[in-house]
Structure 1
Amino acid sequence: MEIDKERAKGVKLAFQLVLDGMGVDNIAINLNQLGYRTKRGNLFSGKSIERMIRSEIYKGWIVSNRLKGRNTHQGKIRPKEQWIIVKDAIKPCIIDEETWDLANEKLTLRQSLAPRARQRRHGLSNLIKCALCGRTHSVTIRKDRKQKKELKPCNRKDPLGNSCYNRGLNYNSMMDLIITRIKIRREEIIAELKNLKEESQPFDSKAIKIQLIEERMKKVEKALKMLQIQLEEDLISLEEFKERKKIRSRELDKLQLELQETENITQEDEIRAKESLVERLDHFLNNWKQLDDTKLNEGLTSFISKVIWHYHKGSNKPPSLNIEWID
């Protein structure tokens, strides 16, 4: 095997940046800005940097018998004790074994800290999505402002380091906006109930609901196709592909079941469902101020899929939000 000296410089830089404590997403941006690309000529991502650091080939090892079957996309990973590992198979190696071990330890330590941050749940956890890039907005507690909560700006960077600049907002202000929308939603459902109960009103909400479910199914099917493309383009690992595919497949199965149930629904069923939803909304609106963060989040996510937030930095347009509801 011959070493590509130019690509080897990028590999060495990536390992050094890991040792310096930089995250994989920022390492990818650094390599992309310097003109480095993956084997297939694509921009680096955090996942591709992680796969690079985890790859034993850079320290001169060759690992075989890792997968069952020849299909690298669908094959299952064997237990580690069944792998065939040939050490010092490639000389000279790009990264010495000590550097490889240190970088992998540093990466593992950094990744082990991430779940702890995700466990800090608040009322709006996983609900607010950036309208510009789709990233979930996080919430911070401002120690310099008497522990006030704030929805952080997005500032997600693309592979070349450009930020999307969707602004944040005061946490309580965001909550007030959402509560106002919930009250409006309640009035809309009451109006729908009134129309349903009128004998002259045709039962057309069923057709609308079926159309919405079919549109969601198309999005999931498209996402499944994109996952396959990402795997083939080496943008995600096999393990991540399998995990994401499992989640999307379950989502599709759930939608198919929802479609069948909706096709069989009667006007009386629809009336009962809407009456039940109004009761749930009333209970939430009367009690939400007394709920702790966990219960508040559970209440919101029981009838809200996501809140799409748009407040672009540098724009004179007022902020806006759009709520996707769970019926």
Structure 2
Amino acid sequence: MINQQILEKTKNDVFQNTVISSAVQIKRVAIYARVSTTEQAEEGYSIDEQERLLSDWCTNNGYIIHQVYADRGISGKSIEKRPALKQMLNDARKQLFDIVLVWKTNRLARNILDLLKIVEVFNQNYISFRSFTENHETETSSGKLQFHMMAAIAEFERNTISENVKMGMLARAREGKWNGGQVLGYNLEETAAHGNKRKHTKLVINEKEAQTVRQIFELYISGNGYKAIANRINKEGHRGKKGKPFSINTIKTILENPVYIGVIRYNVRRNWTDKRRGDINPNPVFQKGEHDAIISQVTWEKAQQILKQRSHKPNRVHGGAFPFTGVLRCPKCGAGMVVSRTVNKLKDGTRKTIEYYACGAWKNKGTSVCNSNTIRVDKAEAYIFERLQQLATNEQLIQDIVETVNGKRSNNDEPIKREFATLAKELEQLQRKKERAMEMFEDDLITKVELQQRLNKTNELIDQVELRLQPIKLQMQSLKTHTIDETLIKEVMGNFHKAFKQSITQEQQKHLVTLLIKEITINEEREIDSIQIQFNNAVLNYFTEKGADKSLGDDLSAPFLITFTI
């Protein structure tokens, strides 16, 4: 009777301890780490070291790590170009973690506007933000105020440093010193420091490359165009600074660069950290450089005169709005096809322009790289559009798409289900272990102290397993059993055909094509060989009335590629 009372009291104690333990929710931490290529090379940042220290901090503070999000070799200027950050923000909106931890605030964003936008996403989803080295946190009102103030001060300091660096480089440019990187025709050499003067980089002629530069200028002033020059020097085996063939744009850039007459050009852009096309400075700095010229002033002036005369009719690649540019692939080299035009003179004296899809590498770099491999635009587009129209009634293709999408959904779910089953089984075994300990105590095989020791140890193991189960349960909750069917695919294909037919401009058609089609291949006989379509949430949202089914979750966030031969 006494043993029975002790057993009941022990069970109550264990139950109370379990309730108290479950009431304390252990925080889930998302670690974000980033390092740019420049920082890795010049400043000694280590993304692995960031991850190690932040992980140790979580362990020491009793937190569990939900996931480490790492952007390696990526600048902090743009959110859009950081896949790990974008994934973390998506997971934040699903409230998959409670804290975001970074090594330093500037790992998250370098300008205060982006930083505040990111932190606002955290705040809206009840997620706090912490900086390891700066002791920032956003869990309290005073912490938020301090965070905003320090972020503003940090951006001010960065801008001040940037302005000082720009002023220093501008001063060096006015002294004729080189501020840029590698340039064809020259090697970079560091000069030794003298007195108060710091060492700097100087351009020294590379005679082999200089001969290529001189040949480019001579060919141009002799009447050759960009493409003819690129084609010739590529055939002769000349290559650019990085060992790549010369393109039309490379030739044009060389012909416009005053460095080859011994002149430094600097401050070409108004905002030197933001290299946009529309940010060209109309008044850059030109200064006699301390390096030697490769071409004569006479040759330079002749080339500039021709450039000016030809500027009203640039020799450009006609890619643009044609629906299948970039999607069509060259059968020889795999480059995207662009539009090329020929003008034929008819018997009656009139001229007729015929448009072709041609290899982009040939168009840009000449026959030394690839052949034209042309296919007429009108015939190619009519043929492709006819095949796309047939997709809405191609039962076999529709069935292939359905099986692939649903099969991949099932495959994606399997690892999560297996892990959940493993942990659930482990939890069940630990519960049975507790029951056996109780039975041993009832049979007087162990003392109360021994029972409590065994229960405490088992409860610790149970807590650990349950902590591991928390993120798995959240993922399991998001798994749905919904599948897509043939009706949905037919709706997508039918609406694509209708939208394409109703498109007024080629830009609209191109947008529709790039949504649905990943790639179109051409065979050696210059006939359409196969079409590879991509099927994802973006396609569902655009081509169905209801949009993407929410139950599909993230399974369609990346495209499913279906290739069929036509």
Same fold (TM over 0.5): yes
| Preserved CA contact (<8 Å) 2:398 2:489 | no
| Number of positions where the alignment pairs a residue of Structure 1 with one of Structure 2 | 256
1:129 aligned to which of 329, 334, 339: 329
* More off after superposition, 138-147 vs 48-57: 138-147
Question: 1:138/1:267 Cα in 2 relative to 1: closer, same or farther (>3 Å)?
Answer: farther
Question: 1:125/1:173 Cα in 2 relative to 1: closer, same or farther (>3 Å)?
Answer: closer
1:206 aligned to which of 384, 409, 413: 409
Secondary structure at the counterpart of residue 205 of structure 1: helix
Name the structure, 1 or 2, with higher relative contact order (CA <8 Å, separation 6+). Answer: 1
Q: Which has the larger radius of gyration?
A: 2
| Preserved CA contact (<8 Å) 1:137 1:152 | yes
- CA deviation string 1:66-98 (max 9, x = no partner): 89xxxxxx987799699875416445x332345
2:296 aligned to which of 96, 109, 112: 96
Report what 1:258 is aligned to.
none
Asked if residue 14 in structure 1 is aligned to residue 216 in structure 2, the reply is: yes
Instruction: List gaps (5 residues or longer) in structure 2.
Output: 1-202, 414-474, 536-566
CA distance, structure 1, for counterparts of residue 380 and residue 327 of structure 2: 15
1:61 Cα deviation after fit: 1.9
Cα RMSD between the aligned structures?
A: 4.9
TM-score (norm 2): 0.35
| Preserved CA contact (<8 Å) 2:318 2:340 | no
| Preserved CA contact (<8 Å) 2:380 2:528 | no
Report what 1:183 is aligned to.
390
Asked if residue 310 in structure 1 is aligned to residue 523 in structure 2, the reply is: yes
1:7 Cα deviation after fit: 4.5
CA distance, structure 1, for counterparts of residue 245 and residue 498 of structure 2: 50
1:164 Cα deviation after fit: 2.8
| Preserved CA contact (<8 Å) 1:44 1:159 | no
Question: 1:82/1:299 Cα in 2 relative to 1: closer, same or farther (>3 Å)?
Answer: closer
Question: 1:87/1:322 Cα in 2 relative to 1: closer, same or farther (>3 Å)?
Answer: same
CA distance, structure 1, for counterparts of residue 532 and residue 238 of structure 2: 40
Report what 1:300 is aligned to.
513
Question: 1:305/1:105 Cα in 2 relative to 1: closer, same or farther (>3 Å)?
Answer: farther
CA distance, structure 2, for counterparts of residue 130 and residue 80 of structure 1: 38
1:324 aligned to which of 532, 546, 551: 532
CA distance, structure 1, for counterparts of residue 342 and residue 243 of structure 2: 41
| Preserved CA contact (<8 Å) 1:130 1:166 | yes
Question: 1:264/1:58 Cα in 2 relative to 1: closer, same or farther (>3 Å)?
Answer: farther
Report what 2:258 is aligned to.
56
- CA deviation string 1:106-131 (max 9, x = no partner): 55755973569455x34444432213
2:339 aligned to which of 130, 138, 144: 138
CA distance, structure 1, for counterparts of residue 285 and residue 388 of structure 2: 59
CA distance, structure 1, for counterparts of residue 489 and residue 360 of structure 2: 36
Question: 1:20/1:265 Cα in 2 relative to 1: closer, same or farther (>3 Å)?
Answer: farther
| Preserved CA contact (<8 Å) 1:130 1:137 | no
| Preserved CA contact (<8 Å) 2:258 2:264 | yes
- CA deviation string 1:3-46 (max 9, x = no partner): 56664443222113333454434323322434545457665444
CA distance, structure 1, for counterparts of residue 357 and residue 238 of structure 2: 31
Report what 2:491 is aligned to.
279
TM-score (norm 1): 0.55
